[in-house]
Amino acid sequence: MRHIKKIISMWILLLLRNRNFRLREEGKLPDKWYWADIEIFRREVKKEVFKWQIQKLN
């Protein structure tokens, strides 16, 4: 399952997140975190941690 997550590109995740947001706004989806939301957040945090580690080395 982990390798599948790496393959899914960011634009697909953004599409899913935007779809989920729209459905939540329309009241068709419960207001909670979904996989696309969590995966985008995880990737962003990972990117920021990497930047911080690079700065720490310099």
- In this prediction, residues 2-7 reach a mean pLDDT of 61
What pLDDT score does 7 carry? 67
What pLDDT score does 9 carry? 82
- Does residue 6 or residue 27 have the better pLDDT? 27
pTM as predicted: 0.63
Helix axes 35-57, 10-25, angle to 10 degrees: 130
Q: Is 48 in a helix, a strand, or coil?
A: helix
The model's pLDDT over 31-48, given as tens digits with 9 standing for 90+, comes to: 888 888 888 888 889 888
What pLDDT score does 36 carry? 87
- Does residue 39 or residue 4 have the better pLDDT? 39
